[in-house]
Amino acid sequence: MTTTTTNPTLRTAVAGVTGYAGAELARLLLLHPRLRETPPMFLGRMLPEGEGTTIALTSLHPQLSGLPHADDLSVTPFDWEQLQREGVEILFLATPHEQAREWAPQALAHNIRVIDLSAAWRLQHDANRAIYKLTDADPAAAQALQREAVYGSPELHGPAIAAARLVANPGCYATSIILGLAPLLRANLIDLTFGVVADAKSGVSGAGKTPTANTHFMYAADNLSAYAVFGHRHTGEILEQLHLTNAQLQFTPHLLPIPRGILSTIYVRLNQAASLVDIQNCFFDFYVASPMVRVRRSPLLPQIQHVVRTSFCDIGFQLSPDGKKLVIVSCLDNLLKGASSQAIQNMNLMAGWHESEGLI
């Protein structure tokens, strides 16, 4: 297992910079105070020898122009030998799941640590992972690496992330729901015989950059729709990280007619009547050392506009008059705390830096 050291800087590379999350990851890396003298490499598809082409980073993402080094950087074809020549220490995979499943073991074989933004390595249970239909050339080796992979939630697994070779960045819906529930479940305050209901709503960018009929402007605008009821692919993450059974959770995602942001409203019944102070202290104590989680004082509830284009997850709650029913609201930007800025948190921990560097 890799030991943690504090590095003054770091050589990084990003594979898959063309999408929305990839663009945000590029922006955060270019602005990171530790990386001013060592800008990241940006990598495209791995092409046959002799067919390599490059494209200017700012031609893909003009909004990055003017950031440190951005106008001088290009996206080049993926090449393991080049990564080694450049001394890359951490590789971000913002690629499809299948590609990340193939490339992560190869990166580790080249002594390059990996932060994977796809779902390729998030799930430990075969039944939960089946929804992604992943295949492995060497199933035994992949299973061994799967057991080594660390789920990249800094609030839950900070020390393990710091020492990890392979970090599986969490999903956006999963992050909002896990962070809203973890303090209460760890304190054994929820009566799971009544189940947990998570009603979550996301902006259109959560579906990725490839257009579909459901993300088309004429479908999404002036509309609100539920989808993937009883079958959303982030369900397995929530179950595994919170140690819930499928029977104990009802998670229903919805598509909002906005570009970005997630609001999850979570309904639970408590084991016994509690006070506002009890619940407030439960959240405060759990997140006292978590700089990217902001806990609101009841009755204040977070809103998407409070977190959009920030790296925070905001959590609030309201308690019923009898102290037995609790509603938690958890908000984040799906492209940042739900993807790219959480990946930067993980990089910071792996490098031995404070997890909020470059994010506040």
b/e burial code for range 137-175 (CB count within 10 A of at least 16 → b) = eeeeebeebbeebbbbbbbbbbeebbebbbbbbbbbbbb
- Whose CA is closest to 82, among 54, 57, 60, 119? 54
Tokens of 150: 């660390």
DSSP annotation string for 28-58: HHHH-GGGTTSPPEEE-----TT----EEHH
Within 10 angstroms of residue 74's Cβ, the number of other Cβ atoms is 15
N-to-C CA span, the chain: 30
Report the alpha-carbon distance of residue 275 to residue 321 in Å, rounded: 9
Cα 18 to the center of its chain, rounded Å: 17
Report the alpha-carbon distance of residue 19 to residue 141 in Å, rounded: 30
Catalytic residue among 172, 282, 313, 331: 172
Residues in Cβ contact with 334 at an 8 Å cutoff, skipping those fewer than 6 apart: 172, 173, 202, 203, 205, 206, 260, 261, 262
Whether residue 172 lies in the annotated active site? yes
Q: Do the bridges between strand 196-202 and strand 41-43 make them parallel or antiparallel, or are there none, so unpaired?
A: unpaired
Residue 342: DSSP 8-state: H
Report the alpha-carbon distance of residue 78 to residue 156 in Å, rounded: 33
Tokens of 256: 């909002």
Scanning the structure block, which residue is given the tokens 């009603």?
Answer: 199
Catalytic (active-site) positions = 172
